[in-house]
Amino acid sequence: MATDDQERCRCCFLKWMNLQQQELSELHQALTLQASNKNSENCLRQLAEKCIKHYQDYVNNRSQLARNDVSAFFAPAWCSNWENSLLWIAGCRPSQYIRLVYALNGIEIDAQLHEFLQGTRTGNLGELSPEQFHLIDILQSKTIRAEEKLTTQMASLQEDVADQPMVAITKGLSKIGEMNGELDRALDKHEQGMVGALEEADSLRLSTLKELMDILTSRQAVDFLTAAKKLQLCVHEWGKTRDERHGRGKLMIT
């Protein structure tokens, strides 16, 4: 039963990563067509929306599986130690999306500044308009506040393990690691809390991403998703390589 859960969780993740790869090719293709004017603004928007829809599906799927085995997602065996050490409530920090926007925007500005100062380039440097810049900043502070709230919630859940009823049950045990019905009920209840945290974190990730998509133009949204997916896939691979260097991993990760 337990291995089944584990296997289903792993499958869910692997399917998701395969989909990322597939979406990345689609996004690249769309950008190429756009560059040669063969693709409409509308196509890009639809593609971005499709990606978000897929993410929504993944989140829903994950939530279902987590009800059976939530810890599998907090310390996934299918990711490298390095990747797992970067997790925030079983995923990325939603505030990372804003960092990514700033970073992408920054690369453009640096490349264009010289021309701008020479007067050979005018117009909207770094693509993000003042309005978008303003909205992204509002989104950022909102996201960080929500993140902090969830972090505090998570802290409580972790502290709870060193509190009642676990402590009283432990005191009454005659052997280390012994399990009983009372303990199982207590741990099940604790896991429910963890599922709640996971669901809230996933919903924050999703809503932040959706709001960001609303702020960005279709072209920017596709650019952003391309960069985000590429980064995600890279992080997964880098983790494997780095773990191997420390003599970990090859057997565990497929």
Partner 1 sequence: MAGMCCGVVGEGETPAPIEPSSRTSRRRRMELLPSKFIADVAVPPVLKNGRKRQKLDLCPRSSPPLQLEKAAKTCLSSEAEGKVENNETKSESEEMSPTQALNFCRSTPSAEVVRECPKFGVTSVCGRRRDMEDAVSVFPSFCLQKTQMSDGYHFFGVFDGHGCSHVAARCRDRLHEILKEQVEGAGEAVEWKGTLERSFELMDEEVRERSGPLKSTWSCRCDLQTPQSDAVGSTAVVAIVTPEKIIVSNCGDSRAVLCRNGVAVPLSSDHKPDRPDELLRIEAAGGRVIYWDGARVLGVLAMSRAIGDSYLKPYVISEPEVTITDRTAEDECLIIASDGLWDVVSNETACGVARMCFRAQRPPSPPGSSHSDVAVGAVSKSSDKACSDASILLTKLALARHSTDNVSVVVVDLRRNNDQQSLGLEN
Number of helices (H) and strands (E), helices first, in the chain?
A: 9, 0
Q: Which of 16, 74, 88, 116 binds partner 1 (CB under 8 A)?
A: 116
What is the rounded distance in angstroms from the CA atom of residue 132 to the CA atom of residue 162?
46
CB 14 within 8 A of CB 62: no
Least CB distance from residue 80 to partner 1, whole Å?
A: 26
Q: Does 126 bind partner 1 (CB under 8 A)?
A: yes
Site string for partner 1, 3-32 (x = CB under 8 A): ------------------------------
21 CB contacts (<8 Å, ≥6 apart)?
233
For position 41 contacting partner 1 by CB under 8 A, the verdict is no
What own/partner pairs with CB < 8 Å and gap ≥ 24 does 210-213 have?
210/52, 211/139, 212/97, 212/98, 212/101, 212/136, 212/139, 213/48, 213/49, 213/52
Given the complex with partner 1, which of 49 and 108 has the nearer CB atom? 108
Q: Which is nearer to partner 1, 149 or 189 (CB)?
A: 149
Residues 135-154 that bind partner 1 (CB under 8 A): 135, 137-142, 144-145, 148
Residue ranges in contact with partner 1 by CB under 8 A? 95, 99, 102, 105-110, 113, 116-117, 119, 122-123, 125-126, 128, 130-131, 133-135, 137-142, 144-145, 148, 211, 214-215
